[in-house]
Amino acid sequence: MPIIKENIYSIGAGVAALALLPPVISFPLIGTILCARIADYRMDKKSVKPHSTISDEQLGVVDFLASRFDTLCLGDTNHDCRSFFDFVTDENFQKRLAGKGARHLFIELAHPYQPLISDLESGKISRDRFGAIVNGHMVTASSTAMDKLRIKLLATSIAEKNLAYHAVDSRKLQGTENIALTASLLNTLTRIFFPKFLPHKIGFGFTFAAMACLHRKKIRETILDDTKAAANITACVAPGELCAIAYGAGHFSGIAQNFGMQDMRGLMQKNGRNPVVVNIYESDRQRAEYNENKDPLFHMIMGKVSIRNADVEFVLGKAGSPGKVIFNNPVLEAAYKAQIGQPHPATKPAALTT
């Protein structure tokens, strides 16, 4: 697949971000990365087969929550695995929501990508072209942590049109763009050239750490500011109309409240919505790691903060394993048990907390 014109700005941005390197090195390097990323982007059906599975119980809980809340907040607990997108893009899940009256799915993708989503939904561009554009731009201008496979899953789901997708992320790391671009490029380099020898986040983490030291307050404010996104979501749906928001779990966790701001959940409530938060995990181990909150980069930027548990947690299944549902809200659990005819247990294992 040839390099398309939409990626020209990415090359320029990448060169600017790597200004410390001589052009004789930076130009071929950026060009090589872009060509490899774009040429490698093919809509192979085998590559988009679900890796994680959603159980009937989890779909039943979705039905239960959709009948009691108008905003289903889905928390992505690991941007570097595909399980969250396996869930969000699952046809059965989306049809369940549509059957309850939902029409809109809001995702953590930068708002300028919305015209591309519209073009894909209308058939003006193919899934391959959508993926190549988004994938190429994210080499140097990543505003989310989606990788190629997640983009493929997203493109396939958008084209199926079970729900209307909306890119609503309106945050911007003001004054830190060049450092962020450098971080993204270094992350890409370590993934391509050192996949077995270095943790794939080492390039991004090293550069982002420098950004954290230089712009800690500003990063907090911009990373946590979902005011514009919340306003766009509220404007798009009628009062009481069911919708879903697929965002990083931190946006619903109350971290923003530690700095005098509202998180996405609080903003939805402020705007008259009735949200419920469901965190999605790939495995029990990943759930434990997330809830233990030991990410050093997170602590470097945010410091010691309190984090609120999700109302419900889904651990997705694999072949032969049905997955799990964990209620952290005892009132919700009692109502769900009553609905399906199961007695609410007097005691239960304590949910993971932070």
Statement: residue 56 has pLDDT above 50: yes
- Per residue in 61-115, pLDDT tens? 999 999 999 999 999 998 777 889 999 999 999 999 999 999 999 999 888 889 9
Mean pLDDT of the chain: 76
Q: Which domains does the chain possess? A: 51-171+225-340 (3.40.50.11550)
Residues 183/211, Cβ–Cβ less than 8 Å:
yes
Statement: residue 181 has pLDDT above 60: no
pTM of the predicted protein model? 0.76
> What confidence tier does 337 reach under pLDDT thresholds 50, 70, 90?
very high
Residues contacting 231, CB < 8 A, separation 6+:
271
> What confidence tier does 289 reach under pLDDT thresholds 50, 70, 90?
confident
Statement: residue 283 has pLDDT above 80: yes
Helix/strand/coil for 279: strand
Order across the sheet with 104-110: list the strands: 164-169, 104-110, 243-248, 71-76, 275-281, 312-315, 324-327
According to DSSP, residue 210 is labeled H
- Lowest-confidence region among 121-130, 167-176, 181-190, 240-249: 181-190
Mean pLDDT calculated for residue range 323-347? 84
Statement: residue 231 has pLDDT above 80: yes
How many angstroms separate the CA atoms of 175 and 273, rounded?
Answer: 33
Q: Which of 186-200, 256-270, 301-315 has the highest mean pLDDT?
A: 256-270
Q: HSE on the CB side for 198, CA within 13 Å?
A: 16
Statement: residue 37 has pLDDT above 50: no
Question: Exposure string (b/e) for 101-116, b if CB count within 10 Å is 16 or more?
Answer: ebebbbbbbbbebeeb
- For 35, 114, 172, 174, 286, the CA distances from 11, given in Å and listed in that order, are 11, 22, 20, 21, 35
Q: What tokens does 231 get?
A: 């306003």
Q: Which amino acid is at 314?
A: F
Residues 200/184, Cβ–Cβ less than 8 Å:
no
